[in-house]
Structure 1
Amino acid sequence: MTKVKSIIFFDGVCNLCNTSIDFVIQRDKKNHFLVGALQESFSKQILAKFDVREDYLDSIVLVEAGEIYYKSTAALKIARNLSGLWPTLYVFMIIPTFLRDPIYDWIGANRYRWFGKKNTCRIASPAEKAKFLSEENLNQTGFAL
């Protein structure tokens, strides 16, 4: 039986976002996640099923067990599945989103200015192909469109 994976959608031209995705890939020892750029057409096709605007780039998006999560909630749910001590950050879920998300929004609003951006979306290296969202990888996970 194939394991249904969670999918992380990120801003593919944002340097901070790409560094964060590298961080997640390195610590996803249980192979829990697939990742895809929000700007990619296949990502947009999946997100349309959840009524996400086609031009949405405001935050990281996590699709997990048929549910969709944004901003700090997505980040904490991702941390919960990483190796090392990162799952301990999940305790911050007790803080209401109206307190957590303004900090996330402040960093997000300044991410290009502070960290820069690329002209095009990141391309997965051959070693990373299995971690990046594709029709083939999605079909192998049991995730239903």
Structure 2
Amino acid sequence: MSSAPSATILFDGVCNLCNGFVQFVIEHDAAGYFRFASLQSAAGQELLRAHGLQPQTEPDSVILVEGGRAHTHSAAALGVLQRLSGGWGVVGTLGKLFPRFLRDAVYRLIARNRYRWFGRQDACWLPTPELRARFL
């Protein structure tokens, strides 16, 4: 792994919406800044504990671990967008103009319904051999 600064995205590995988000990030992260770990994995659970968060059996948020801090809910999603190319940084910045309680309410609504609306897999998504180095 490179010694360049990076951040880690923890995601629900069986959620189709979350897997789509990871693939979207990979597509728009030309610099390879982000690494990834499923919340269901041992690496994901250890990162949660290391940042004072409870290990999750039913994940309810994408988590962004960056600069020694863990960001959850809308702060995580918008923080990721701010680092992406193609104008997504502007979207992330503009999104943060809304009060967090409103952003998180919308985030939680989507999170509660994500399996119903987008479906789920029986097992965690596996990266291609080319992407495997970016996954913990």
Same fold? TM cut 0.5: yes
* Root mean square deviation, CA, Å: 1.2
Structure 1 segment 1-145 matched on structure 2, within 5 A = 2-55=3-56, 57-89=59-91, 90-133=93-136
Q: Could you tell me whether the CA contact under 8 Å between 1:25 and 1:131 is conserved in 2?
A: no
The code of the aligned residue for 1:99 comes to L
Q: Deviations over 1:78-133 (max 9, x none)?
A: 00111101001112212221011110100110000011101111111101112212
Provide TM-score, normalisation by structure 1: 0.88
Provide TM-score, normalisation by structure 2: 0.93
Distance apart, 1:77 and its partner CA: 0.7
Higher-RCO chain (CA-CA 8 Å, sequence separation at least 6)? 1
Distance apart, 1:4 and its partner CA: 2.2
Structure 1 stretches of at least 4 aligned residues deviating more than 4 Å after TM superposition:
none
What count of residue pairs does the alignment treat as equivalent? Answer: 133
Q: Deviations over 1:16-56 (max 9, x none)?
A: 10011000011111111001100001111121011211126
Give unpaired runs (5+ residues) of structure 1.
134-145
Give unpaired runs (5+ residues) of structure 2.
none
Q: Percent identity?
A: 38
Distance in 2 separating the partners of 1:101 and 1:55: 19
